[in-house]
Amino acid sequence: MINKELIRDRLIFINDYLIQLEILSHLSKEEFLRDRRNPAAAESFLRRSLEAIFDIGRHILAKTGSIDMSTEYKAIALGLGEKDIINKNLSQKLIQMAGYRNRLVHMYHMISQEELYDIITENLDDIRQFIKSIEKFIENN
């Protein structure tokens, strides 16, 4: 059985970090880069949000009988799309997010501060869309 309370808690966690990312995204690129704490904070908020996104996906897939798809991050994104928990377009974006999450964790030294700024100023809508999709899913299930 899907633990809706667990999912809601993770969604609150994601939303809290999304708010922090939005605050950082309103800085000019120069302001963002001027203080080294800004890219570090953005990286942490983004990585932790992505971890929570994939934790939610893994939980839903495991509890709906799709355990074989619930172990790898890209498979989680694909599985959520295949089960129509999220739309196919968002599923593809989550696959890209999974790759980015892996870069944040394993190739952190190759991610520039400018790249982080671009991500938080151009891609936060994908996280918002994920939150809405999962809220709709738990409301209907």
DSSP the chain: ---HHHHHHHHHHHHHHHHHHHHHHTS-HHHHHHSTHHHHHHHHHHHHHHHHHHHHHHHHHHHTT-GGGSSSHHHHHHHHHHTTSS-HHHHHHHHHHHHHHHHHHHSGGG--HHHHHHHHHHSHHHHHHHHHHHHHHHHH-
Taking only the tens place, the pLDDT of each residue in 44-79 is 999 999 999 999 999 999 998 776 654 689 999 999
pTM of model > 0.95 = no
5, 62 Cβ separation under 8 angstroms: no
Residue 37 one-letter amino acid: R
Mean pLDDT across 76-86: 94
Count the neighbouring beta carbons within 10 Å of the beta carbon of residue 43.
Answer: 18
The total number of structural domains that make up the chain: 1
pLDDT over 70 (residue 16)? yes
Q: Write out the residue range of the structural domain in which residue 39 sits.
A: 4-140
Q: What is the mean pLDDT of the chain?
A: 94
According to the model, what pLDDT value does residue 68 have? Answer: 61
According to the model, what pLDDT value does residue 105 have? Answer: 86
User: CATH no. for residue 46?
Assistant: 1.20.120.580
Mean pLDDT across 33-48: 97
